[in-house]
Structure 1
Amino acid sequence: MKKVVVSGKTVADAVRLGLTQLGVAEDRVQVTVLEQPVKGFFGLIGAKDAKVEVEKLPDPLEEAEIFLQDVCSTMNLAVKVERTETAEGLTFNLTGPELGMLIGRRGQTLDALQYLVNIVANRYSDTHLKIILDAEQFRERRRKTLEDLARRLADRVVRTRKEMVLEPMPPQERKVIHSYLQTHHAVKTFSKGEEPNRRIVITLR
């Protein structure tokens, strides 16, 4: 139920009734007064209650989840979405069969879907929201893979005394490698190039 039309002795009474029916707080609705109350003759004859329309405002996270479920349904995938708070922001954890289709090669499909989910959520939000999309703990597994790669390449740079230029990576993956090597005693990192072909360079300090 998105909106209701309700009546009450006063506008406030009508709004309270509408909030009860919708099951939301007042800051989550838009109220339109359709009719002001009329006291009537001697306070009785011809009296009319107030009438208001109480409309539930879209919840950014609900809208993002609905969009996500619609995409999965189109792909004939049955998924369950669990929301969790992390240091980096709100995470939508996806569980279900055949999630490899949603993850894609090196998480490219998951990243694209995450981008779209954030667009949908922020369309309905007054403040900027950051939603991380994850499936089958892919983000954690990918982080460990990138850290292993960073360690191996750093060792190679130290051994050969030659810098290494990595293949293009999305910003969040570059951040993992930069963070992992920022305290390395012998190498340093920087990025070069333009998106989507921006690359990390690992070189001697």
Structure 2
Amino acid sequence: MSLKKKLGMGVASAALGLALIGGGTYAYFSDTAEATGNFAAGTLQLSTNPTEIINVTNIKPGDTMLRSFDLNNDGSLDIAKILLKTSYTVTDAKGGNTEDFGKHIRVNFLYNGDKVDDVIWNTTLDKLQSLSPDVIAGNIFSPWLGERGGKLAAGTHDKLWVQFEFVDNKEDQNQFQGDSLQLKWTFEGKQGAGVAK
């Protein structure tokens, strides 16, 4: 065997030896494990049925109008608090009104369901429009949804009753003849406090 072949064979043997030694230093037992997680947020979905609670014409002082509507929680989370925002616009048919028509429309909030004989709270539309949502929530929705502790549970609905009254103040109310009032109620559902899961 020539010197070149011996040197080549020696270099190859040394390289193989180093590879085996190097490879041997990384040999060990091993194992793996995986863990996964999933987070799915719940939903709040509040709706009313019907969406138009009242639509009447030809009202006069002393008239009352009893209406009901369903407040639905179509979401997956309980609604712990319901806020109500009131707004309205008045169309003055003759012009020159000295008073707000909303001051003469009283809202009588009645007990939930078939318990329509008791008023839990009443106020006029103009006052209702200026009240803070927390005052309204405490005075209206806690009693209205009383059997559930003021909550609207996920997947449930409640039938709520409200009476509107054109208050007869025993004075001249001629300025309101032909007037109209467009009412908008915006209900907002709020989640409860977070809990350990």
Same fold (TM over 0.5): no
Using structure 2 for the length normalisation, give the TM-score: 0.23
Which is greater in Rg? 2
Using structure 1 for the length normalisation, give the TM-score: 0.22
The structure showing larger relative contact order (alpha-carbon pairs under 8 Å, at least 6 residues apart) is 2
The structure with the largest helix share of the pair is 1
